[in-house]
């Protein structure tokens, strides 16, 4: 401790499973030469408060971590891991929500389905890494062509969908026909 100890009192800090620490008082500064039972009660109360403070901080950290983990799990359950676009589940949820507003005459909804022709050829010829790069690039191109209220989703494999909400009467003015054609979609 760096000084001589003439008189000391200690209280252990225990949780349910282990020793967490100790509170130590030494060399009482008073006319009384030794610690009393009242000092021991005070030190125990102080130790209990210190332990509760440590446990509260630990619980707050655990709750924050659980919240982050929950947010991450929620994101993963609703997004494609490769493209980070919404997946089929989230797309259907947003589509159902949009369809509930179809009674509103000012709210028009459109859906684009995008299927990459001969995508299997890319995977078979150049490998899955190349195929993944194509899917990621496709997702980025789709994302760049839609508005903030719209939803682009990867439905699976080489299939994408776009939910267009609040579109104008003329689809060409809402999205831009040239932009849609620039995605390389086939017209069947």
Task: Return the active site residues.
Answer: 158
Contacting residues for 15 by C-beta, under 8 A, at least 6 apart:
51, 55
Q: Please, where are the H alpha helices in 82-161?
A: 88-100, 119-126, 128-145
3-state helix, strand, coil in the chain (%, to 5): 50, 20, 30
Distance of CA 47 to the CA centre of its chain: 37
Radius of gyration of the chain (CA): 32
């Amino acid at each position: 401790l760096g000084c001589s100890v003439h008189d000391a009192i200690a209280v252990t800090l225990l949780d349910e499973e282990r020793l967490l620490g100790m509170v130590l008082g030494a060399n009482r500064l008073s006319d009384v030469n030794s610690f009393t039972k009242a000092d021991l009660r005070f030190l125990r109360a102080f130790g209990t408060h210190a332990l509760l403070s440590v446990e509260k901080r630990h619980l707050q950290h655990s709750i924050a971590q659980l919240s982050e983990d929950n947010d991450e799990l929620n994101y993963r359950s609703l997004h494609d891991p490769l493209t980070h676009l919404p997946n089929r589940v989230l797309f259907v949820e947003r589509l159902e929500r949009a369809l509930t507003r179809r009674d509103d005459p000012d709210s028009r909804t459109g859906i684009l389905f995008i299927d990459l022709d001969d995508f299997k050829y890319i995977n078979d010829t150049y490998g899955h890494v190349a195929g993944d790069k194509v899917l990621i690039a496709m997702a980025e191109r789709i994302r760049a062509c839609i508005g903030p209220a719209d939803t682009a989703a990867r439905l699976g494999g080489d299939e994408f969908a776009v939910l267009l909400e609040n579109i104008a009467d003329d689809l060409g003015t809402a999205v831009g026909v040239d932009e849609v054609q620039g995605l390389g979609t086939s017209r069947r």
